[in-house]
Amino acid sequence: GESVGLHLPTLSVQEGDNSIINCAYSNSASDYFIWYKQESGKGPQFIIDIRSNMDKRQGQRVTVLLNKTVKHLSLQIAATQPGDSAVYFCAENNGDYKLSFGAGTTVTVRA
């Protein structure tokens, strides 16, 4: 069967390497997904979003992949930098602006 990326609460990555953060969502009717970055003591910051009619979207150094079949979302960060150290949350939106957040992954970048 198709493999699904495992959600890990923490991820340690060497500076310059690529990071992959996984998320499983719960509602098959969700039509919009967002990745947020949260630094300590701050509110979430938008990274990238994707609508359910797409399976991939690229931004600057980031790529989001959506697999609706297994309800899985991933965020890929290219050439991870120290400033990327933060907690990353995926969120799903059901069309009424209310967001449901995933558990979060703490990314630590090693110099």
Partner 1 sequence: GAVVSQHPSRVICKSGTSVKIECRSLDFQATTMFWYRQFPKKSLMLMATSNEGSKATYEQGVEKDKFLINHASLTLSTLTVTSAHPEDSSFYICSAPGTSGIRSYNEQFFGPGTRLTVL
**Which CB, 44 or 109, lies closer to partner 1?**
44
Place of tokens 């990555």: 13
- The contact pattern for partner 1, residues 2-41, with x = CB under 8 A and - = no contact, is ------------------------------x-x-x----x
CA distance 12 to 31: 31
- The contact pattern for partner 1, residues 41-80, with x = CB under 8 A and - = no contact, is xxxxxx--x-x-----------------------------
CA distance 40 to 38: 7
Note whether 80 and 61 are within 8 A (CB): no
Tell me how far CA of residue 103 lies from CA of 23, 53, 87, 90, in angstroms.
8, 24, 10, 8
Q: Does 102 bind partner 1 (CB under 8 A)?
A: yes
**Residues binding partner 1 (CB under 8 A):** 32, 34, 36, 41-46, 49, 51, 89, 93, 95, 97-104, 106
